[in-house]
Each structure stands twice: as structure tokens, then as C-alpha cells.
Structure 1
Amino acid sequence: MNNVGKNRKTLLLYFLRGSKRYFIISVIFAMLVSVLDLINPKIISFAVDCVLSKKKQKVPEFAVNLLSEINEKFIVFEGDAYYFNSEYFGSRLYLIAGLIATVAFLAVLCRYFFKQFNARGEGKLVQRMRNLLYEHIIHLPVSWHNANQTGDIIQRSTSDVETIRNFVAEQLTNLIRVVVLIILSVIFMAGINVPLTFVAIILVPVIILYSLFFHNKIAASFQKVDTMEGRLSAMVQENLTGVRVVRAFGREAYEKKRFEQSNEKYMNTWIHLMKLLSAFWATSDFVSGLQVLLIASFGAVFCVKGTLSPGDYIAFISYNAMLTWPVRMLGRVISDMSKAGISIDRIRYIMNSKVEEDAENALKGDDAPMNQDIVFDNVSFEFDRVEKNAEGEAVVVSVKKHDEQAEVLKNVSFTIPAGKTVGILGGTGSGKSTLVHLLDRLFDLTEDEGKITIGGKDIRRINRKWLRENIGIVLQEPYLFSGTLAENIAITQKEQKMDRVKAAAKIASLDEAVEKFGKGYETYVGERGVTLSGGQKQRTAIAQTVIRNTPIMIFDDSLSAVDAETDVKIRKALEEKAKGTTTIIIAHRISTLMNADKIIVLENGRVAEEGTHDELLQKKGIYNKVFNLQHAV
């Protein structure tokens, strides 16, 4: 990421690549709208004073030649100067009306192009933000995902992206227009009456300073609201994912109460924020109203004294309205900046999280053949610790204690010969799954935690993508995506070839079950495979792995949900399919492991026993004890 998220500005500019030019063009059109909006009050002032009041209005020197070329009757020469011909314009008010309409039409046209380019920039910005966020999230390590709530990540990737979109497209692009309007309004007002202009701008610094003060005051409130909204989203996601567990244990009332309590806290925090915002806008309205009152009062006095004409008074009131709106808008931009800043920080937390990285010149292809011996050499491992930062965000702490109580694996050493089948047996928490997760580099060993090699090559030096492309793993908890059965089986394939899908399903002993489905392989499995039984999901996951034809296959307790007869059928089919393939089978049932070339028994993170089925029975150790227990059952 090249440190793109080191601060808010850097990250925002990084996201704006590709959309910046659209926003720049839209701002140019917005500025043109501002200029055009300032012209019509001047035309109305001219109509009131020159045409209706017959007040002489001098023609600026730069406009004399232009107006005389258009129509010499527009101006008259009196004394030593040129003046607008009030009689001519007075009898032709349609010219003034046409000029006002032309300026208004040009303003509408510029507004149209402003909206068009702004919408394009907005679309490009959101598309880039979502793409970059998604790409970054899927490359973050498993430890990061374990430490963070899914609902909160979704909240940051949707709601916070929307907040930034709203700020950039609707507030930031208007900011320049606001500044231009303020400057030009003051210039035009000063051209009419300097003392009255001073009265108009005297309260502007008060509004701006109050807005800045308010911006600092509510930043923490916005942070709290966003954090609580993220927790609320995480709770909803968690309950929707585990809805069957909630129902099975009759926890509906408990979960409802827990959600209501969290929702009430969020609501109270939101109401507190709204109270602050209401106070800000009420105060802003009062100050703006006070300013209008001052202008109206002093303007009337100047009109009575004759230092301000009726037309100029009308124009000044219009310019004051144009000044008041941008000043209040500036306050809104500043207050919205608070919320956008918090959202950028929340997204920056994701973008600053370190993704999985390969070693320099990582090995792949012929430099890292996978059909080789796998060696676990004195492997000890403990998971990264997770701590919360000041904002309540999970931070993965990589400093490890290296004490026996924290270590999941302790000095584990064994070899898996190429093309052989190795079984791993052990109790819950003995480190079986951790072994295969380390082999697939879902977690990485530090330099002092030993090493795992394939063909003598340290897997930390092997390209992750290459490694994972050559390791087929059926995880302990199979995960299926929303889609058809065929799509899930062929999820790793570029093309969905039905002959390969059916062959993989047959090996996984899934074909007979599929025949009973109304739509066969086109059966929709639902989110997480909710329409399938536990055994069907496991067999689908096995088919997903088998279809890949990888040189290394891992089955992490992947037959636990099938009956003994199906277990035998799958094992026989796999033995035939997996000839020459290095196979690792993790299981609790010895019947699943007994035909393996070698069986490793883990206890408390250590290798307790190692050997063939017969050798381990003769040792009269843990394996023999488990065998006798299962055999007795």
C-alpha cells in the first residue's frame, strides 16, 4: 500500500485517483454557476434604478465600445460620459427580461454539467473505494479476521464509504463554490455600499469561529455513534449467521433483549449527537437572522438618507442572502467534516492493517515443486495476541511470550513422505488443525518457532498463491457459498465442466444424494449451504478439493458428519484417486486412519506417538487406548 493511509489526507487522495478530474471539472462549473447567480441581482438593480426610477447610470469604460457595436441606442452621451439609455430600455423591458432569462438559462446549463461531472466522479470514487477495500480485506491474515467482528467490517465498508462519498461529492465540491460566493458577494456588496458591507460581514467571523468550535466538540460524538453502529451491525450479522443455534437453544428472548439494550445505547448516543447538531443549527439560524435584521435596518436608513438607491438596496439584500447561505454552508461543511474524518479513520484502520506478504523473490513453479517430502522441524507455535486500541478496535500484537501455556504446538517434528498418506489423531485442542493451517500458511511461524519444509524449501520462502494452489484442504467447518451445487463444487475452476463436477461428486459419495434433488446439480444450496445436511456439506467440500487435483490433499476431520458406511466408501474412492498424492487425514475415528502409511498421535501440542496402525497398537499407548474404547463401542 506504500503507506497510503498514513493520514486522512493521504488516504483520501489515494481514493480520489481516477475521479479527481471529474470533481475538478464539476467545481469549475459550480464556480460558473456562482458567477452567473451574482449577475441577475445587478440586472434587477439596473431595471429598478435606471428604467423605473429614471436614475442615470454611467456605463463602464470597458463596455462602451461593446454596447455601441451591439446597438448604439443602448447608450447616450451626456456631458463627458456615456450613460445607459433609460428611455430606450424602459420601452423595451423584454430586453431586460430576456437578459435575465439568458443568464438564468446559462446558470441552469452549468448546474446540469456540474451535476453530471460530479455524479461521474462520485461513482468512480465509490467504485475505487469499494474495490480497494475489498481487495485489501481478502488479503488480510486470518488472525486479523479472527480479531475483528464481521459486522463491524461490513459497517466500515458500506456506511463509512457512503459517508465519505457524501462528504466529497456533496460537501467538499461545494466548498470552493462557497468560498467563491463569499468573496464575490463581498466584492459586489462593497461596490454598492462599503459601510453596509461592513455591517453585513461583521458577524461572519462569529459564525465561522463557532462552526470550528462546534467541529471540535462533536468529533468524539461522531466517533462514538459510528463505533456503536458497527457493534450493532456485528450483532445483527452474528445472529443472522447463527439463527439456527439461537432457535435450537431457545435464545430468542435473550438475544432480543441483548439487541434492544445495544440498540437503546446507540439511540441515546444518536439523540445526544442530534441535540448538539440542533443547538448548532439553531444558534446559526439566530446569528444569520440577526445579520439579515441588521442589513434591513441599516439599508433602510441609507435609503432614507439617499446614499443607497432602491435598486441597489434590492441587489444588496440579494447579495446578502448569497453571503448568508455560503457562510452557513461553510458551517455545515465543517460539521460534516467531523463525521467524514471519523469515517476515514475507520477505513484507514482497515487499509493500514498489514496484508499477507511473500518473501522477496518467493519461490514458485519449478523452483518449488510440491510433490516432495513435507518436514515439520521442531515446530512450536502460539497465536498472536489481540488487544484493543483507544477507539476500541482490535489490534493484532505479534509479540509472543513463548511459554508452554501459551503454545499450541511444542517442538513438533515429523516427516510426511511424498505420495504417502499420513493420519493425525489427537484430542480436542491438541493442535491437529493448527498443523495443517501452518502448512497452508493461514498462520506463519516466526523465525524462532521452527520451520516447515517441502522438498527442503522453507514454506516461508514459497509464494503463498503457488503454495495454496497446490494444497487442497477440506476444512473442519465446510463453508458453501450461495449458489448451485455445481457452482460450489467447481468454485476453484475457471470453467464449470459437468463431467469433472460429477466425477468429483462420485468420489465424495455425493452423487446418489444429488440424484434425489429435484434440480440435481443445479439445486440452490442457500447461504452457507443451509439447505444441505451436515454430511452433504462435508461431502460437497470434499468434492471441491478432489476436483482440484492438487499434489497435496488435507482432510481436517472432514468425515465426522457422515455415517460409517459412507465413510468407508469415500475412503476407498479417495485411496484410488489419491495414488501418488501426499494426503493428510485428521480424524477422531481410528477406522478412518488405520490404513494410513503413518499415523501421528498428538497430545497437548506434542507428538506423543508415531507409527503404523499395527505398530501403535503394540505400543499400548494413547492410540491403543483410543482404539480399544472405539472398538468396545
Structure 2
Amino acid sequence: MKNIKLLWNYMKGNRSKYTFAILSIGMAALFSLIGPLVMKITIDSIIGNEQLSAPYWVVRIIEGFGGVSALKSKLWIPAGMLVAFTVFRGLFLFFKGKWSAEAAETVSRKMRDQLYNHLQYLSYQYHVKAETGDLVQRCTSDVETIRRFLATQFVEIGSALFMLLFSGYIMLTLDLTMTLVSLALVPVIFTFAVVFFIKVKKAFKLMDESEGKMSTTLQENLTGLRVVRAFGRQRHEEERFEEKNRINRDFTYKLIRLFAWYWSISDLICMFQIGMVLVTGIYWTAMGRISLGTLVVFTTYIGMLLWPVRQMGRVITDLGKAMVAVERIQAIIDEPIENMEENGDKSPIYGNISFENVSFGYETDKPILKNINFNVEAGQTVAILGPTGSGKTTLVHLLARLFDYQEGSIKIDGKELKTIDKKWIRSNLGLILQEPFLFAKTIKENIRLGRYDANDEEVVEVAQVASIHDVILEFDKGYETLVGERGVSLSGGQKQRMAIARSLINNSPIVVFDDSLSAVDTETDASIRAALKERKNKATTFIISHRISTLSEADFIIVLDKGKLIQTGNHDQLIHEEGLYKKIWNIQNSSEDGFMEVAN
């Protein structure tokens, strides 16, 4: 019931179109039922000599044409009426299809927009855990399932109800006993459809979830195809996909088997019902209890009536699918969006930063950072060194408020970080990740992503700082070169330098290099750092790296280990102090000396 209410809410703004579509299907049902009545009257009273027996409103129509006697010499009138009723039925079916399709497309578009927009504002932590393939499945396949139901099956509920009401009324006016015979198995068919609905809903949910996992596997493989080929893991990936595909096939087969059972059994029940009407009707016609025209009406009506009633099985099956899809979509919508605190402080940011006893953990009982303390003045460069898992990336993520610290205090220019508007702090902090993501756009468009109003001179300037300008000019189309999906046409170092240029164009007062110089050679690394120093309005810069040559020129260096700050100081101080920094410096120096000896 909850999911039906959710679906009803999604239909807001389009309910009037659905109302008109249902009324149109009702009128189409009425005109389709009048045709057999015309045939009955023609057979029994116009061609035959039976006394006119029909609903009052039908009698009035016949009297309008001069009565039965006048129609005996004008058989073209009943024939013309049959044609007219068929035309009117087709016209109302057209309006039904038009209005239901327009409404369904509008609803599905609104759902996609709502889903996409909601995903933009979900927390960073949610996207870290979410499976991309499953999210794509919900935004496409699940929305399409709902669209198909709303476009075709939803109004069919009205068709079945109108057909049952109209035909039931007309049949009752003709013969009560024959009506009871004709409708005897309709409750059985409907009950069977409800049972089928319950089973299909469970089967479809399993199939839909398995398809989502298969999509995730496919998405991961296509994204990491070069890695797969580099390690010769094609067969492993094939087996992995085959397993997901097999599971999806098995659940799909289960659903198909349920459909096969439903349609075959419902066919049997419907044929039995039609057989009952034919046998009973023919016998009573032969006995003179009912007329030949009445037999024609009942045999025609039962064929017209059983299809929409039987179709209710498909309707409620698609309803079950739609309910599962709504539930999966709503699970995303129900995820709380990140509180951007738009009423927070938006004062100018200069880059003075202090950490005081800051502790943080993704799980409360497993702290990642423990009592971190340090101060940074605006314009200084801070280097961060530490083994994998020591909390380096977590520390800079706290600065961007991708996560909020649980203990202690982080202040920027003397203001508590938690009081600063999230969007504001992120627009003033350039975060350059270790694994840069580039969009399938031109080089210029990718660099301008940080600030769309940047002019060409500013794009070239930041490209020069990032030591990528000369490389760009070597491409045939220069800055108008398309980089391909995820920047596939560029090397790892070129992508990182593009990401650096993209962050610098925003002129952020705080810039963070999250191990984002790792894919460039030491000469380019030094060139980028030198260019950053020469920039006017020098930003407060954090550099995470394992390369001592990258860290050595920083104003001061932070060394982390197991979430604790174990050393601070500049390069000259730390290489004369026993600890992790000196140990790594010695290792890297000895490696370089060995390399030089081999080279000489």
C-alpha cells in the first residue's frame, strides 16, 4: 500500500490525463459492447420476427430511426451503425493511448530528474559504499519498468472494470441465468491472477537485483579494461561475468516459468468458460429458451470480457514489478541528502588553518585520526608523509568537509570549520585527487570545469603552471582535443596535470595535492612546484606524497603513522631526527645513489 501511495505521488500533475485516458477507455468499451447488441436486434427483430428486447436507451435509438419495421427495408442503417461504433471506439482508443503515453513519459522524466538531482547531493560516504552499476540500473531499468506500467497497464484496470460493469449490466437485462453461467469462472480467474501477482513480485525483485549486480560487474570491467588486459585477467573476468549472468538467467527463467504457468492455466479456465457459454447457449437456443441473437451477444461478450479479466493477471504482474521498482527508487530518494548548511559562514577565506586535538573515525570504535594538532599560516606549503592507512587522505577530506570530525577543533581563519557553509569551503578548496577523473569533453572544457567563466588566457596560464601546456599544443586540435571517456586518450601523468590545471583555475586559497604528483616525473614535479611558488596570491598548499624530493621544499612537514602525528618540522630538521622521515629519506637516497652508479 505504501508503494502504491508513492507511485500516486509521482503521478501528481498528470492525474487529469490519466482520468481522461480511463474515461476514454470506458467509452471505447461501451462502443465495443453496443456492436453485438446491434447484431442481436438485426438478427432477432429486423431480419427475424422476435419481439424487440433490448435496454431502454437502445430501444429509444431504434425508435429514432423509425422503429424495427422501418429498418427492415434499410439494413444499411444497422451496418452503418456498426461501422460508426467501430470508428468511435478507435477514436477513443487513440485518445486513451495519447493521454496515457504523454502522462507516463512526463512521470518517468520527472522521476529520472529527481533521482539524478538527489544523487548529486547525497553524502560522499554514500557514494563510497554504493555500487555504480546498481545505481545506473535503478535510474534506467527501474524507471522504464514504471513507465511501461503507467503507459499501458494502468489504464487497462479501467478497461477491465468498465467492460465488466457494462457487459454485466447488458447481459443481466437480457437473461439472468445465462449471465450467471457466463460469469461463473470470472472470480476464479481473478483469484488466480492475485496469487500469481504475489509470486511474481518476489521473483521479479530477485531478477531485478541480480540484473543490477550484473550491470555493476559490466561497468567495473569496462572502466578497468586496460588493467584487465595488462594483467591478462580476461578469462577471470569472463568467468566472473558469466557467474552473474547465469544467476540473472536463472531468476529470469523462474519468472518466465511463472508466466508460462499463468497463461496456460488461465487459457484453460477461459476456454472452459467459453465452452460453458457455448454449450449452454446452444442448448437453450435449440430449446427456444433464448433467441439466436441473444446467443450471439453472450458468446461475443464472453470473448470480449474474458480477455481484459485475464489480462488483469498481466496488469497486476506489471503492477508488482512497478512496486518493486518504486521501492528500489524510493530507497535512494529516502537517503538523506548531505546537509550543506547554506546559512553557514561565507566570510572570505585566506588559508590560516589550525587543528586542535582532532580525532575522527568512519566507525566510532575505530578511530583513523587521533589527537592531531598543528597550525598553518596562509600561503604556507604543508607536506604530509606517512605509510598507507595512516590517515593522510582522511585528514585533507576533513578540510573539505567530506566528513565531519567527531572530536577536537579545526579552524580556518579563526572560524570553526563546522560553522562554515559546506559549499563555500569546497568552492575555496582545490582538491586534486590521486586518481583524476576527466569527462568525455575537450581539454579546454575539462579545465574550465572548475570555473566556467574562465577566459582562454586563464586556461593557458593554469595549463602552464601544471606543465601541460606544451603537451596540449602537440595535439592536432590543441585545447579543442577530445580526451575520450575518463580521459582514456591521455597518459596517467597527463591526466593528473589536467586535473591540477582544473583545480588551479578556481584560484582557491587552499589547494590540496592528494598524492596527485605521483604519476609525473621528478623534473615535471619540480617544475609544477616552482610554478606554484611564483603564482601571485599564493595559496595555502597541502601536498601528500611518498617522494621526499617533493616534500623537501615545504615550509613544514607532518609525519603520520597509525593515525597519530609522530613528527613535525622542516626537511633539514627531520633528516637529523631519528624517525620515519629520516628512514624513508635514507632509503630513497640510497636508491638514487645506486641508480646513478649503474647509469655511470
The verdict on a shared fold, with TM-score over 0.5 as the criterion, is yes
> 1:421 maps to which residue?
381
> 1:560 maps to which residue?
518
> 1:388 maps to which residue?
none
1:608 aligns with 2:587: no
Q: Check 1:247–1:203 CA distance in 2 against 1; reply closer, same or farther (3 A cut).
A: same
Q: Distance in 1 between matches of 2:56 and 2:26?
A: 26
1:450 aligns with 2:408: yes
1:441 aligns with 2:401: yes
Residues 509 and 540 in structure 2, CA contact (< 8 A), matched pair in contact too: yes
1:218 corresponds to which of 200, 225, 233:
200
Gaps of 5+ in 2: 593-600
> 1:43 maps to which residue?
38
Q: Distance in 1 between matches of 2:491 and 2:299?
A: 74
Residues 222 and 339 in structure 1, CA contact (< 8 A), matched pair in contact too: yes
Q: Which amino acid aligns with 1:576?
A: E
> What is the Cα deviation at residue 58 of structure 1?
6.0
> What is the Cα deviation at residue 496 of structure 1?
5.8
1:129 aligns with 2:89: no
Q: Check 1:58–1:202 CA distance in 2 against 1; reply closer, same or farther (3 A cut).
A: closer
Give secondary structure in 2 for the equivalent of 1:370: coil
2:7 corresponds to which of 9, 12, 16:
12
169-178 or 492-501, which moves further after superposition?
Answer: 492-501
> What is the Cα deviation at residue 62 of structure 1?
6.4
Q: Which amino acid aligns with 1:273?
A: L
> 1:380 maps to which residue?
359
Residues 182 and 298 in structure 2, CA contact (< 8 A), matched pair in contact too: no
1:307 aligns with 2:302: no
Q: Distance in 2 between matches of 1:107 and 1:276?
A: 34
2:579 corresponds to which of 614, 621, 631:
621
> 1:79 maps to which residue?
none
> What is the Cα deviation at residue 543 of structure 1?
0.5
Per-residue deviation, residues 434-485 of structure 1 (Å, max 9, x unmatched): 1111111222233xx3332223333223222112111111111111111111
> 2:313 maps to which residue?
331
> 2:23 maps to which residue?
28
Q: Check 1:535–1:578 CA distance in 2 against 1; reply closer, same or farther (3 A cut).
A: farther
Q: Check 1:14–1:597 CA distance in 2 against 1; reply closer, same or farther (3 A cut).
A: farther
Q: Distance in 2 between matches of 1:425 and 1:568?
A: 18
Q: Distance in 1 between matches of 2:445 and 2:524?
A: 23
Q: Distance in 2 between matches of 1:499 and 1:320?
A: 78
Indicate the RMSD between aligned Cα atoms, in angstroms: 2.0
> 1:389 maps to which residue?
none
Q: Distance in 2 between matches of 1:475 and 1:19?
A: 44
Matches within 5 A, 1:268-283: 268-283=250-265
Give secondary structure in 2 for the equivalent of 1:179: helix
1:370 corresponds to which of 349, 352, 366:
349
Q: Distance in 1 between matches of 2:287 and 2:567?
A: 108
Q: Distance in 2 between matches of 1:450 and 1:307?
A: 94
> What is the Cα deviation at residue 373 of structure 1?
2.0
Matches within 5 A, 1:469-488: 469-488=427-446
Matches within 5 A, 1:290-301: 290-301=272-283
Count of matched residue pairs:
591
213-222 or 463-472, which moves further after superposition?
Answer: 213-222
> What is the Cα deviation at residue 105 of structure 1?
1.3
Q: Distance in 1 between matches of 2:24 and 2:56?
A: 29
Q: Check 1:199–1:64 CA distance in 2 against 1; reply closer, same or farther (3 A cut).
A: closer
Give secondary structure in 1 for the equivalent of 2:541: strand
> 1:78 maps to which residue?
none
Give secondary structure in 2 for the equivalent of 1:490: helix
Residues 126 and 161 in structure 1, CA contact (< 8 A), matched pair in contact too: yes
Per-residue deviation, residues 524-581 of structure 1 (Å, max 9, x unmatched): 1111111101110000000000111112111111111111111111111111226442
Q: Distance in 2 between matches of 1:154 and 1:63?
A: 56
1:260 aligns with 2:242: yes
Q: Check 1:605–1:62 CA distance in 2 against 1; reply closer, same or farther (3 A cut).
A: closer
Residues 424 and 602 in structure 1, CA contact (< 8 A), matched pair in contact too: yes
Give percent identity, aligned residues only: 40
Q: Check 1:28–1:615 CA distance in 2 against 1; reply closer, same or farther (3 A cut).
A: same
> 2:88 maps to which residue?
106
Q: Which amino acid aligns with 2:46?
A: V
Per-residue deviation, residues 41-66 of structure 1 (Å, max 9, x unmatched): 11111211122113231687667887
> 2:597 maps to which residue?
none
> What is the Cα deviation at residue 308 of structure 1?
1.4
2:78 corresponds to which of 96, 103, 108:
96
> What is the Cα deviation at residue 67 of structure 1?
6.5
> What is the Cα deviation at residue 507 of structure 1?
1.0
Q: Distance in 1 between matches of 2:232 and 2:397?
A: 34
Q: Distance in 2 between matches of 1:42 and 1:483?
A: 65
> 2:485 maps to which residue?
527
Q: Check 1:85–1:215 CA distance in 2 against 1; reply closer, same or farther (3 A cut).
A: closer
> 2:372 maps to which residue?
412
> What is the Cα deviation at residue 510 of structure 1?
0.4
Give secondary structure in 1 for the equivalent of 2:193: helix
530-539 or 415-424, which moves further after superposition?
Answer: 415-424
Residues 487 and 496 in structure 1, CA contact (< 8 A), matched pair in contact too: no
Matches within 5 A, 1:356-367: 356-359=338-341, 362-366=343-347
Q: Distance in 1 between matches of 2:19 and 2:374?
A: 63
Per-residue deviation, residues 367-422 of structure 1 (Å, max 9, x unmatched): xx3214222222222224xxxxxxxxxxxxxxx22xxxx32211112222223221
Residues 351 and 539 in structure 2, CA contact (< 8 A), matched pair in contact too: no
15-24 or 201-210, which moves further after superposition?
Answer: 15-24
> What is the Cα deviation at residue 123 of structure 1?
1.2
> What is the Cα deviation at residue 227 of structure 1?
1.3
1:355 corresponds to which of 337, 342, 356:
337
Q: Check 1:59–1:242 CA distance in 2 against 1; reply closer, same or farther (3 A cut).
A: closer
Q: Check 1:38–1:495 CA distance in 2 against 1; reply closer, same or farther (3 A cut).
A: farther
Q: Distance in 2 between matches of 1:109 and 1:148?
A: 48
TM-score by length of 2: 0.94
